[in-house]
């Protein structure tokens, strides 16, 4: 149910862009006495379910934190299994996602991934390129501070080359240099797993994003919980600092 607009603020009907920090895979596995990779495998299945649910509801952009720069600090054996799981996801899901009219985009330093994983994701992007429904944006080898650093370096190069005047740089200009240049800022960010922090995810883009957190671990998150988060969003008045 959508609330009516209240005086002094806008009550949106639906979040056009939903971002999710998919936290809790390893804890989910640990609670069940399973290897960590089984939690990640269950989390990948949840992502497919939530992608379908978001498309069905009418969300236009779904951006998920799949692998952070900080994740490279984990045990090499877990990283190797994660890279293989990501590669398998990309290879197996392309036709299904295209059939559901989902277009996949990538955010992050994809070139630094192992070649088999990198190539699989580039193939996934190509397979779904013609879709014009939900945009599923996978943040892989992503860090918001790294993104801002990359944007600043690109800006500096263009200023040095005379292609950009420093006085003309504003929020819109900077946004065009981010990994998310083609996307609107997130309306709603969901975090599972009970933590209450952004964890270096979409820091610039989330200046006025509505936040919604749940203690539910990501593999147990479902369509009903997504609807609950979107319902909470629909009741909020977004003032954007006014």
pLDDT number for residue 241: 80
Average pLDDT over residues 32-36: 97
* The domain over range 17-143+185-234 is classified in CATH as 3.30.470.10: no
Contact 67, 82 (CB under 8 A): yes
pLDDT band at 242; cut points 50, 70, 90: confident
| pLDDT tens by residue, 185-206 | 999 999 999 999 999 999 999 9
Cβ pair 32, 41 in contact under 8 A: no
Tell me if 41 sits within 8 A of 82, measured CB to CB.
no
* Catalytic residue (choose from 23, 25, 141, 187): 23
61, 71, 185, 200: the catalytic one is: 71
pLDDT at 221 over 80: yes
pTM of the model: 0.93
Q: Which residues in 146-175 are b (16+ Cβ under 10 Å) and which e? A: bbeeebeeebeeeeeeeebeeeeeeeeeeb
Residues 56-88 pLDDT 10s: 999 999 999 999 999 999 999 999 999 999 999
Residue 71: active-site member: yes
User: What pLDDT score was predicted for residue 38?
Assistant: 98
Active-site residue flag, 150: no
Please say if the pLDDT value at position 10 is more than 60: no
Whose tokens are 């990948």? That residue is 44
């Amino acid at each position: 149910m959508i609330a009516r607009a209240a005086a002094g603020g806008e009550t949106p009907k639906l979040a056009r862009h939903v971002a999710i920090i998919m936290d809790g895979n390893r804890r989910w596995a640990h609670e069940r006495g399973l290897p960590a990779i089984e939690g990640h495998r269950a989390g990948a299945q949840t992502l497919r379910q939530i992608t379908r649910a978001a498309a069905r509801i009418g969300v236009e952009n779904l951006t998920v934190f799949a692998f952070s720069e900080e994740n490279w600090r984990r045990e090499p054996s877990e990283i190797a299994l994660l890279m293989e799981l990501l590669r398998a996801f990309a290879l197996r899901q392309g036709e299904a996602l295209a059939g559901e009219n989902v277009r996949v985009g990538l955010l992050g330093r994809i070139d630094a991934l192992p070649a088999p994983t990198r190539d699989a994701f580039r193939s996934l992007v190509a397979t779904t390129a013609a879709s014009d429904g939900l945009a599923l944006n996978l943040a892989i080898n992503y860090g918001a501070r790294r993104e801002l650093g990359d944007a600043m370096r690109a800006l500096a190069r263009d200023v040095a080359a005379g292609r950009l005047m420093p006085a003309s740089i504003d929020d819109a200009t900077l946004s065009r240099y981010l990994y998310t240049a083609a996307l609107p800022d997130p309306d709603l960010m969901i975090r599972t797993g009970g933590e209450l922090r952004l964890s270096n995810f979409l820091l610039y883009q989330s200046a006025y994003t509505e936040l919604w957190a749940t203690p539910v671990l990501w593999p147990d998150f479902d369509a009903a919980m997504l609807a609950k988060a979107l319902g909470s969003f629909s009741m909020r008045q977004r003032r954007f600092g006014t």
